[in-house]
Structure 1
Amino acid sequence: MHPASNIDYSKHNARRDRLTKIIMEEHTKARKKSGAKQHFVDALLTLKDQYDLSEDTIIGLLWDMITAGMDTTVITTEWAMAELVRNPRVQGKVQEEMDRVIGERIITEADFANLPYLQCVVKESLRLHPPTPLMLPHKATANVKIGGYDIPKGSNVHVNVWAIARDPQIWKDPMEYRPERFAEENIDIKGSDFRVLPFGAGRRVCPGAQLGINLVASMLGHLLHHFKWTLPEGVKPEDVDMSENPGMVTFMHTPLQAIATPRLPSQLYKHVPVDM
C-alpha cells in the first residue's frame, strides 16, 4: 500500500472517532438532563460498565450502525423501484393506498402503520433482493452438525438467504414479485421466520433491522406518493437488467433508469419540513 494511503486512512479514522465521540457526548449530556431514552446510543452508554464496553467498542458499534445502513438501504430501494416500474399494477396499488390514507400532504413515519400494502412492498423487495445475499460471514464457535453436515469449530459459515427466499419448495411462484403474499400470511422478516432473513437471525441479527425497514418505507413512500414512475420510451419491463453485481452487497449491475411524472399539487414539491 502506498504510504499516502496509510495517512489518508488514519485521517479518516480520526475524523470518524471525532464525529462518533460528539454523538456520544451529546447523548451523555441529554441523559443527565432528562434521563435515558430507549434507543441504541443510550443503551450502549448505560450498559457500558455492566458489560465492560470500552470506548473503542462503542465507537465501532455506532459506526457499524451508521455505515451498514447506508449502502444496504440504497440497494434495497433501487431494487424495489426496479420491480415497481416493471409492475405498474403494484405501483398503482401502493399509490391508491397512499392517496386514500395520506391525501395531499407529505408522508411521515407515523403514517407507516396505516399503509399495510407499502409495508408488504418493502418485505417483498427484501425477500427477492436481500442486500447481503449471503448475510455477513459467521464463524462456528464449536463443532456442530447441521442438516447432516459436520461444521468444524472455526469454520466460516455463509447462509444463502437469496436462495432460500427463491426456493419453490418454500415459496409459491418465488420469482413473481407479489407483495400480497405478505398480506395473506403474517411473515416476520426480522429473524424469527427462516424463510426470509434479510437481516440475519439470532444473537447476531442486524440491530438496525427496524430502522432499515422504516428508511426503505420512507424513501419508497416519498418517491411513489409524489411521482408516477415509468420506463423510458421503447423500454419494455423484460428489457430491464435485473442482474446483480457480485460482492458482499448486491447493487444492480445496470443502474435503473426511470421517468418521474409529478402526481401531487405543485406546492408540495417546493419545501420539505425540517422536522419530518
Structure 2
Amino acid sequence: MATITDEILLCFICLISFFFIQSLLKRKAKLRSDFKRPPSPPALPIIGHLHHLSPVIHQSFHRLAQLYGPLMRLHIGTSTMIVVSSASSARDILKIHESLFSSRLTFGMEDYNIYEGHSFTTAEYGPYWRFMKRLCMSKLMSASQLDRFMDVRREEMKKLLESLAKSSKESAAVDLGAELTRMTNNVLSRMVMSTRCSDGYNEAEVCRNLVLKCIEFAGKLSMADILDTFIKKFDLFGHGRKLVKSMEQFDKFVESIMEIHEERMKSSAGDTKDMMDILLEVHHDQNSATKLTRKGIKNFVLVSTFLYPPNGIYKSKDDFDKPSLILISICLFQEMFIAGVETSSKALQWATAELISNPIVFDKLREEIVSLVGTTRLVQESDIPNLPYLQAVVKEALRLHAPAPLILRKCTEDCKINGFDILKDTRILVNAYSVMRDPLQWKEPNKFMPERFLAGSEENIGQHPMDMKGLHLHYIPFGSGRRGCPGASLALNVMHSTLATLVQCFDFQVGKEGIDMKAGSGFTTAMKKPLICYPILRFSPI
C-alpha cells in the first residue's frame, strides 16, 4: 500500500512539474529579445516566490518592494503577477492607463461557481458592469437610501452604547473589536434583508453559515490554481464538487428568502425598502435595458455576506491562516462591501486603538466634539461635516490600516508601464498599503498624524478634505476610478458617527502591556490580537 501511495505521489509531482516547465517554456517563447520585464526576487522550482511570503501578505509585498522596486514580478506556481508599490506606478495603472486595467482578476472557483457570468464585482468592464454600478450608486448606496436607514444605524449605535455602559458599570473588560463588528454586522444585515444577525436563529445567521462552507471549499480549490489551471480542472480532491453543493444549498435558501420578500412586496407599499426589495424590483422591471437575473441577486447577497462573516475574522477554517491560501483567498474577495461595511469594522478598531495609544490625539478629538455638540446631547451624523479633526482621524486610520490593502486588476492589452513591458492578461496587484506609506509622498509615513489631513497642511490632498474618491493616487483607501468602491459613503457614515460617539461617551483603559498594533493574517487586515479594554463611562445619553 505504501508503494502504491508513493507511486501516486511521484506521478502527481511529475505532472505538476511537467505543466510548470511547459508554462515556463510558453512564457519564454512569447517574450521577444527586446522584452523588458519588471525585476523579480529569486524563485524556487514549482512554488516560485511563495517562500518569500508571510501570512500578512501586503506587508510581505511591501518588504520585497524595498529591494526589487515599485513594479515587481512574482511567480506563484505557474501564476504570474505584477505588484505595484508606489504612488507614481499606481497612477500609471489606475489613472493614465485605466482603460487597460479596468477588468478584475479571479482565481480558483470560476469553473465551479454556479453564478459565473452573473457577478457584478468580477464582471468585465462593459454594459452589465455599468448597469450594476449605476444601480448601486443611484439606488442601493444612494444618499437618499442611506438616509432611510439612519434610524437603523442610530438604533444599533444605542445597543452598542448600552453594552459598553453595562461593562463600565461592572468594571468588566470588553472585546471592543467584537462589539464594533457586531454593530456594523447588524447594520448591514438590516439594510440587506431587514433582520439582525444577533437575534438567535434568523435569515442572516443561516445565510452566513452557508457562506462559510463556500469559503472553505473555494479556498481549498484555489490551491490548485497556484500550481496550474489545467490541474485544477481534474478536481482531484473533490473541492469543486463540494463547492457546487454548498452553493446550491445557499441558492435554495436565498430563493426562499426572495419569495418571502416578493409576497411582502405585493401586500405592502412602504417607503423603507431593504436592498433585497430594491433588487427584486429591478429584476421584475420589464422596461429595464439590462436584465438583473435571480442568479445576479443571489450572487450579490453571497458577495456581501462572504465579505462580512459573523465574527468579522476569517479564521473559521485553519486553511485561511496558511500563507499560500491567504494569497489565493485575496482573489476570492470582491471589492464592493470589503471597502464598504467591512471597512467600518476593521478601521474602527484600528482608529480606536490608535486613539487609545495616542492620548493627545484622543483629547484633541474630544475637545472638538464638545466644542460643537456640548455636553447635553449625543453627537449626530449631521454634525460630521463640522468636525474636521474627526474626519482627519478617520482618513489617517484608513491610510495606515487600509482594510483592503490589495487592489486587484487584470491587463487587457500588451502595454508598457514605467519602461517595463506588461503582457495581456497579466494579473496586477496594487499594494495600497505601500502606496499610502510612500516616503516620496508622505512625511513620516509610518506615524499616526491626523494633522496631515487638516486644511493648510502641506500634505493635505486636494482642496476638499473629505475627498476619498481616489482622485489623488497616493491616497486610495477605497480604490480609484471606474472600479472604486461604491460602498464608501456607507462606510464613512458608520465610521465617523461611531468613532465620535465612542470618544464622546467613554474613556478606555488597557493593561500594562498596552495594545498590540500588529496586523493579523488575512486580506482585511484585522488586528492580530483582540482589542481588549475597560470602558469608563464619561457621558451617558441613555
Q: Normalising TM by the smaller chain, what interval? A: 0.7 to 0.9
Match of 1:14 in 2: 252
Q: Which residue of 1 aligns with 2:156?
A: none
Aligned to 2:535: 260
Question: CA separation of 1:126/1:216 partners in 2, compared to 1, >3 Å: closer, same or farther?
Answer: same
Instruction: State the distance in 2 between where 1:16 and 1:61 align.
Output: 11
Higher Cα Rg: structure 1 or 2?
2
Q: Which deviates further from its counterpart, 77-86 or 15-24? A: 15-24
SS in 1 for 2:416: strand
Provide the residue aligned with 2:322 in structure 1: none
Does residue 141 (structure 1) correspond to residue 412 (structure 2)? The answer is yes
Could you say if the C-alpha distance between residues 18 and 259 of structure 1 is closer, same or farther in structure 2, counting changes exceeding 3 Å? same
Farther-moved stretch of structure 1 (48-57 vs 17-26): 17-26
Q: Residue 85 of structure 1: CA displacement?
A: 0.5
Alpha-carbon shift at residue 62 of structure 1 (Å): 5.5
Q: Whole-Å Cα distance in 1 between the matches of residues 364 and 471 of structure 2? A: 28
Aligned counterpart, 2:507: 228
Counterparts of 1:181 and 1:40, CA distance in 2:
40
- 1:63 Cα shift? 5.1
Q: 1:18 to 1:190 in 2, by over 3 A?
A: farther
Is 100-109 or 206-215 further displaced after alignment? 100-109
For 1:125 and 1:222, how far apart are their aligned partners in 2? 17
CA contact (8 A) 2:349 2:531 kept: yes
Q: Letter of the aligned partner of 1:129 in structure 2?
A: H
Q: Does the C-alpha gap of structure 1 residues 226 and 169 become closer, same or farther in structure 2, counting only changes over 3 Å?
A: same
| Cα separation, 2, equivalents of 1:122 and 1:28 | 42
Distance 1:40 1:107, change over 3 A: farther
What SS does the aligned partner of 2:492 have? helix
Check conservation: 2:392, 2:451, Cα contact below 8 A: yes
- Greater relative contact order (Cα 8 A, min sep 6): structure 1 or 2? 2
Whichever residue aligns with residue 126 of structure 1, its letter is L
| Partner residue, 2:429 | 158
| Amino acid in structure 1 at the alignment position of 2:492 | I
Assess, with a 3 A threshold, how the Cα gap between structure 1 residues 212 and 25 changes in structure 2: closer, same or farther: farther
Number of equivalences: 259
Q: Give the Å deviation of 1:44.
A: 9.5
Cα 1:248–1:79, aligned 2, differ >3 Å: closer, same or farther? same
| Paired residue type of 2:252 | A
Residue number in structure 2 paired with 1:214: 493
2:475 is the alignment partner of 1:200: no
For the residue of structure 1 that corresponds to 2:348, the secondary structure is helix
Tell me the SS of whatever aligns to 1:260: strand
**Counterpart among 353, 365, 372 of residue 101 in structure 1:** 372
Q: Distance in 1 between matches of 2:264 and 2:416?
A: 47
Deviation at 1:209, TM superposition (A): 1.0
How many Å apart are 1:159 and its aligned residue? 0.5
**Range 180-189 or range 16-25, more displaced:** 16-25
Asked if the contact 1:78–1:256 (Cα under 8 Å) also holds between the matched residues in 2, the reply is yes
- Tell me the distance in 1 between the aligned counterparts of 2:384 and 2:265: 27
- Deviation of 1:144 (Å): 2.3
Instruction: Measure how far apart 1:262 and its partner are.
Output: 0.9
Cα distance, 1:149 vs structure 2: 2.2
Q: CA 1:133–1:139 in structure 2 vs 1: closer, same or farther (change >3 Å)?
A: same
Task: Quote the residue 2:451 is aligned against.
Answer: 180
Amino acid at match of 1:105: R
SS for the counterpart of 1:158 is strand
Mapped to 2, the partners of 1:5 and 1:52 lie a distance apart of 27
SS at match of 1:106: coil
> For structure 1, which segment, 46-55 or 70-79, has the greater mean C-alpha deviation from structure 2 after superposition?
46-55
Tell me the secondary structure at the aligned position of residue 421 of structure 2: strand
> Structure 2 residue aligned with 1:50, among 278, 282, 289?
289
Find the residue that maps to 1:258 and give its secondary structure: strand
Identity %: 34
In the TM superposition, residue 230 of structure 1 has moved relative to its aligned partner by: 2.9
C-alpha separation between the residues in 2 aligned to 1:148 and 1:45?
49
Residues 239-264 of structure 1 deviation map (CA, whole Å, 9 limit, x = unaligned): x3222123221111112222211111
CA drift of 1:171 comes to: 0.3
Superimposed CA distance per residue, residues 61-109 of structure 1 (whole angstroms, 9 cap, x where no aligned partner): 4554564244332111111111010000111111111112222222222
TM-score where L is the length of structure 2: 0.43
Question: Matches of 2:453 and 2:293 in 1, distance apart?
Answer: 41
> Does 1:88 find its partner at 2:366?
no
RMSD: 3.3
Deviates more, 1:119-128 or 1:177-186: 177-186
Report if the CA contact (8 A) 1:127-1:196 is conserved.
Answer: yes
- What is residue 384 of structure 2 aligned with on the other side? 112
- Residue pair 1:27, 1:42 contacting (<8 A) in 2 also: no
Paired residue for 1:72?
A: 343
Deviations along 1:133-175, whole A, 9 cap, x unmatched? 113x222222222222222211221101001111111101111
* Structure 1 gaps, min length 5: 270-276
Superposition TM-score, scaled by structure 1 size: 0.79
Q: Is the 8 A contact 1:20 1:63 kept in 2?
A: no
Residues 242 and 20 of structure 1: CA distance in aligned 2, closer, same or farther (over 3 Å): farther
AA aligned to 1:56 is K
Which letter does structure 1 place at the counterpart of 2:436? A
Structure 1 partner of 2:394: 122
Distance 1:40 1:176, change over 3 A: farther
